[in-house]
Amino acid sequence: MRSLSLLLLFTFHFSLFTFGQVAGQEQMAAALPAVPYSTPPRWSGPLVEPEVRRLAAALSERVAPREAGMDSLFLFRTIDSIVREAIDLRAFPGCQLFVARDGRVVIERSWGRHDYSEGAPEVENDHLYDLASVTKMAASTLALARLTDRGTLAPDDRFSKFYAPFRGTDKEKITFREVLAHQSGLPSGVAYPWRFSRDSLVRAIRDARLRTRVYRYSDLPFLLIPEVVRTADGRDFETFLNEEFYRPLGTGLTFCPLEHGVPVERIVPTETDEVWRKRTIHGTVHDESAAVMGGVSGNAGLFGTARDLGTVMQMLLDGGEFGGVRFLEPATVEMFTTRQYTSGNNRRGLGFDRPSAGNDSLPFEEAYPAPSVSQSSFGHTGFTGTFAWADPACGLVYVFLCNRVTPSRNNKAFVETRVRYALQQAVYDAMRLCVDDASVANVTE
């Protein structure tokens, strides 16, 4: 297995100690190429009102890493080196990274290009990525958390309360807790989903053989959550999310971006599908099941930028509040981000992923995500190469987006380099180095 991340981390740890005092490190960091800190332009859909710009300003303060308690030289050099080597190894053609601490933006930067073709567009901060399974957290989970806030549903309510096709079947007693924590007994997915129509896929889920209710990651019930939301609230899934979260937060998160006027040039492509769609997937959802559902689904289909996701994660990190506006109650956020099953191997919250047990004692190659995240942290990954994580223990928001499935999902370099976790670990190391430097400075004064 390649270990570019470990090699780079150890290399930069060693080199930092040769530079001397903290002031000298800051001077050297200032000489590095400038990291772009300008707020990216944002497309405005019909639901965007002037008031949302005040809310978006909640993450408008940009600070040097040192002001956020991170070692500037280590952070910039390590992250830039890891990303550039990953691109050279063809782990992905380009990426976005967003890092904030205590509500202040430390890094918002893009690298590389949309694909490997000659003359492909360079990735910019306002370009949209297919977020894949991060949709489960940033769409389905947010919607159900909001309905929980209102008292419309509770985690131990039966899923069939709002989804009639499960009534009278062996799935009638499945609860929202079991669905969101992936312990419903439903299989992981259906084989060859492109063989189905929307209606036949829904019937296949209803008729799927229910298995033992142990931890098993499953896409299937998330495909049905848009219908649950429509039944519970009356609004369709997309309208509900736009009105309750995405537009008031000032984000450009969206399903089916081409249908909402986003220029194709601002959307990063995913895979060249040689089996079903016979084309490069560009501006429509990569996930086959979500595509069968029309592109608006609870398992995948959301598009957005690293800042868009960073805004959602900051709201969650702040207990459901952003820009002085409350979106979720703190108790609801805590309940959803807490591990639900204390026995067995299920580490999940309600719709949120959580670190592996004993994560800080595992070697980098076995840890999930980075070894230094706290056990109170939460987030989600996506198949296309996406990752969003928040850590209440240190006030950190970390978002990494790439299209590692370009041109094919058979990309060993991305898996072997573990680049999204290597970059996350580099942020934690930059915090630790800053603390260590401050301690040395205090001793020598």
Q: Dump pLDDT digits (tens) for 222-261.
A: 999 999 999 999 999 999 999 999 999 999 999 999 999 9
- How many structural domains does the chain have? 1
**What's the CA gap between 356 and 358, in Å, rounded?**
6
Q: Which domain holds residue 370?
A: 32-61+92-143+238-410
Residue 273 carries which DSSP code? E
Q: Contact at 8 Å (CB) between 39 and 126? A: no
Residue 223 backbone dihedrals phi, psi, to 5 degrees: -65, -20
In-domain check, residue 173? no
Total-model pTM: 0.89
pLDDT given for residue 139 in this prediction: 98
Cβ neighbourhood burial of 31 (10 Å; 0-12, 13-18, 19+): exposed
In-domain check, residue 352? yes
**What's the CA gap between 405 and 413, in Å, rounded?**
11
pLDDT given for residue 343 in this prediction: 81
In-domain check, residue 336? yes
**Helix (H) or strand (E) run with residue 326 in it:** strand 325-326
In-domain check, residue 120? yes
**What's the CA gap between 107 and 264, in Å, rounded?**
26
List the one residue out of 318, 327, 393 whose CA is nearest residue 360: 393
In-domain check, residue 232? no
Residues of the chain with pLDDT below 70 are 1-57, 436-445
**What's the CA gap between 176 and 316, in Å, rounded?**
20
In-domain check, residue 270? yes
pLDDT given for residue 435 in this prediction: 73
CATH number for the domain that contains residue 374 = 3.40.710.10
**Helix (H) or strand (E) run with residue 334 in it:** helix 330-337
DSSP helix/strand/coil, 83 = helix
In-domain check, residue 415? no
pLDDT given for residue 58 in this prediction: 74
Cβ neighbourhood burial of 274 (10 Å; 0-12, 13-18, 19+): exposed
pLDDT given for residue 4 in this prediction: 57
In-domain check, residue 150? no
Instruction: Find all residues with CB under 8 Å of 343, minimum gap 6, and list them.
Output: none
